Chains A and B, each alone.
Chain A
């Protein structure tokens, strides 16, 4: 005979009391375990979502990069050919080149069967006064396109006919000029052929005229100060280097700079897409973190309440058990059992109750957690039913808490005076 046998016999005898206690512990443990499982699942789902988004972004970025590579290989870009002695600082400051080169360079370039250029546009550009209108304008003489002999492409720019001009938007607007109007420029009669739409840059104060007329009016006969080479193509990564090498062989007295091209815009778009994807991931993470903190707050409120309720319930059950077993305790004490042994009988019962309740509650909680769908329709998240560390924790904690909840009733039992019971009975 030992105390454990006494405890187990009593558990079997008072099954309802035991089952109610087990149920109480199981509910508390299930609540805790399920809450932790749901939070764990939330984390796993978050990882899943973020990983999926990151993969999608990576794929999108890879596609963009590939597209960019292909586009930049296929797509042309623009270069400006300037006299070799042109100071680029002056060019950027004045908006036009101040050094000149022979117009023949454009013809030479076109005739050279250059492989990397599709269009050649020679021009003469200078900031000058429009004495008749008392305005400062950018005068640009253009020849239209110089056809590259090896290629049969459509002209990229229309030619400005002699004695006609194309006006920038701001000039036409402020001078109230319209297509068909006649006007004088530096003593020469011109007819307005066209008004360009508003561009919001220096083009709005530019006058385009025929190149020979511009050369004559500016005193630069046979000279130009820039050749715009458009739609340059090449199959290497260092496209500009290749173009420079090719053109240097034909026009050694020139220098070449790159104009902003569509490729740059593509690259910028790609960067923007990347930034947006990152922002989207950041927002998703933020949303998931917020949802987690809400779930955590709910669990932090619910679990302690359930555990407290369970502890109080176990305490009441233990107290009822003590009252029911008053005579038994009295005779056990009369027969020589020490108060410590009586205490152990009740605490032992609480420990068994806690252990069984913890095991059942753990399984129930994990099953609830497993059945929990993070998002309706979302793919199921596999989670091990048994997590040894967690199981061990509840198997230790629940009996300890059950014993603590039963402590006061057990003390009442241990302190019970057997004489009181035996006299009253």
Chain B
């Protein structure tokens, strides 16, 4: 069974010059152990697709299924819990909490889950991503690469089945970008599913499958 299924997904927004069709009729599935890249130019609706897949943005039409369940059939509270348990997010801007140190940032998803081994798991992830000596530093004291690795560790804390990554290498240099993409590939190899949206062809090279998205017309 596919971990992520998108079927005829469409999403429009009201723009200053009328309706903007961000995503139109998108169908896609990602199997466990699969690293799929969605490529396309800026403004083609990649982020909208990712948010819809992550249960954060209800589509106008079509269907989303994560681990066999349609998150939009759940209540807002249930959907939040569903996200916490099944989905990890990685963003280009990292979105680390500025006043929490690395360890606490990695532990933020623990606020939404009932798991008991969070601190242990956070330590493992920090070690895995080379953050051991930065655990008590706040984001402003980290390099961009360290920030993204912290965000990646945070995304993996609750052992999600699916990781959704939105331009995770957009702000990184080559070495750090490679490290992040390798980590995502490792996660997929370990049985997880990764959906990466990017406009960078090099980033897409780490994926086992690549899907092209074209810019929709308004």
Q: Tell me the A residues contacting B by CB distance below 8 Å.
A: 1-3, 5-6, 9-10, 12-14, 327-328, 330-341, 418-419, 422-423, 425
Query: Are A423's CB and B80's CB within 8 A?
Result: no
Contacts of A333 in B (CB 8 A): 80
Interchain CB contact under 8 A, B99 and A338: no
CB neighbours (8 Å) of A341 from chain B are: 111-112
List B residues 71-123 near A (Cβ within 8 Å): 76-77, 80-85, 89, 91, 93, 95, 97-100, 104, 107-113, 118
**A337 with B112: in contact, given A422-B56, A422-B91 (CB under 8 Å)?**
yes
Closest to A13 in B: B99
Chain B residues contacting A9 (CB-CB under 8 Å) are: 99-100, 104
Q: What are 9 A-B pairs with beta-carbon distances under 8 A?
A: A6-B111, A332-B108, A336-B82, A336-B113, A337-B111, A338-B80, A339-B80, A419-B51, A423-B48
Chain B residues with CB under 8 Å of chain A are: 47-48, 51, 54, 56-57, 76-77, 80-85, 89, 91, 93, 95, 97-100, 104, 107-113, 118, 154, 158, 166
Do B107 and A335 touch (CB < 8 A)? no
Q: What is the bound-complex CA distance between A2 and B109, given in angstroms?
A: 10
> Quick check: B99 and A3 within 8 Å, CB to CB?
no
Q: Using Cβ atoms and an 8 Å threshold, which residues of chain B touch A418?
A: 56
Q: A9-B104, A422-B47, A423-B48 are in contact. Are A336 and B99 (CB under 8 A)?
A: no
Nearest 8 A/B pairs, CB to CB:
A336-B84, A336-B112, A13-B99, A1-B107, A331-B95, A419-B57, A419-B56, A336-B83
Given contacts A9-B99, A419-B56, A422-B56, contact A337 B80 (CB under 8 A): yes
Across-interface contacts of A6 in B (CB, < 8 A): 97, 100, 111
* Contact with A1, one of B93, B98, B111 (Cβ below 8 angstroms): B111
Q: Please judge, given known A-B contacts A341-B111, A419-B51, whether A334 and B100 are in contact too, CB under 8 Å.
A: no
Chain A residues whose C-beta falls within 8 Å of the C-beta of B82 in the assembled complex: 336
On chain A, the residues within 8 Å of B100 by CB distance are 6, 9
Q: Once A and B bind, how many residue pairs between them come within 8 Å at the CB atom?
A: 89
Q: Which residue of A lies closest to B91 (CB)?
A: A422
A327 touches B95 (CB 8 A): yes
Is A338 within 8 A of B108, CB to CB? Answer: no
Distance of A3 Cα from B110 Cα, bound (Å): 10
CA A285 to CA B91, docked complex, whole Å: 74
- In the complex the two chains form, what is the Cα distance from A335 to B112 in whole Å? 7
Q: Contacts A334-B89, A336-B85 given: A12-B99 contact, CB under 8 Å?
A: yes
For residue B166, which residue of chain A has the nearest CB?
Answer: A422
Name the residue of chain B whose CB is nearest to the CB of A345: B111
User: With the chains together, A335 CA to B108 CA distance in Å?
Assistant: 8
Cross-chain contact A334 with B54 (CB below 8 angstroms): yes
Given A1-B118, A332-B108, CB of A423 within 8 Å of CB of B113: no
Q: Is the CB of A328 within 8 A of B81?
A: no
Neighbour of A335 across the interface among B48, B89, B104, B118, CB < 8 A: B89
Give the residue of B51, B80, B93, B104 whose beta carbon is less than 8 angstroms from that of A336. Answer: B80
Is A335 a contact partner of B109 (Cβ separation < 8 A)?
Answer: yes
* Given A2-B111, A336-B83, A337-B80: A328 touches B48 (CB 8 Å cut-off): no
A422→B51 contact, CB < 8 A: yes
Among the listed A5, A14, A336, A419, which residue makes an inter-chain contact with B109, where contact means beta carbons less than 8 Å apart? A336
Bound complex: CA A2 to CA B76 (Å): 21
With contact pairs A334-B89, A419-B51 given, residues A13 and B98 touching in the complex (Cβ less than 8 Å):
yes
| CA gap between A246 and B149 in the complex, in Å | 124
Task: Determine how close the nearest CB of chain B comes to the CB of A274; give it in whole angstroms.
Answer: 74
Is A335's CB under 8 angstroms from B98's CB?
A: no
How many Å lie between the Cα of A327 and that of B92 in the bound state?
13
Within the assembled complex, what's the spacing in Å between the Cα atoms of A14 and B98?
A: 10
Cβ contact within 8 Å between B113 and A1? no
* Interchain nearest-CB distance for A301 vs B (Å): 41
Q: Which residue of B lies closest to A8 (CB)?
A: B99
In the complex with contacts A9-B99, A9-B104, A338-B81 CB distance below 8 A? yes
Q: Check if A328 sits within 8 Å of B98, measured CB to CB.
A: yes
* Complex Cα gap A5–B80 (Å): 21
* Interfacial chain B residues near A13, Cβ < 8 Å: 98-99
Alpha-carbon distance between A328 and B93 when the two chains are bound, in angstroms:
12
A198: min CB distance to chain B, Å: 101
A9–B99 Cα distance when bound, in Å, is: 6
Nearest B residue to A330 via CB reads B95
Chain A residues with CB under 8 Å of B112's CB are 335-338, 341
Residue among A5, A332, A334, A423 with max Cβ neighbours from chain B (10 Å)? A334
Q: Are A338 and B56 in contact (CB under 8 A)?
A: no
- List chain B residues, Cβ under 8 A from A12: 99
Which chain A positions have C-beta within 8 A of B91? 331, 422, 425
Q: Tell me whether A423 and B93 are in contact in the complex, defined as CB-CB below 8 angstroms, given that A1-B104, A332-B108, A338-B81 are known contacts.
A: no
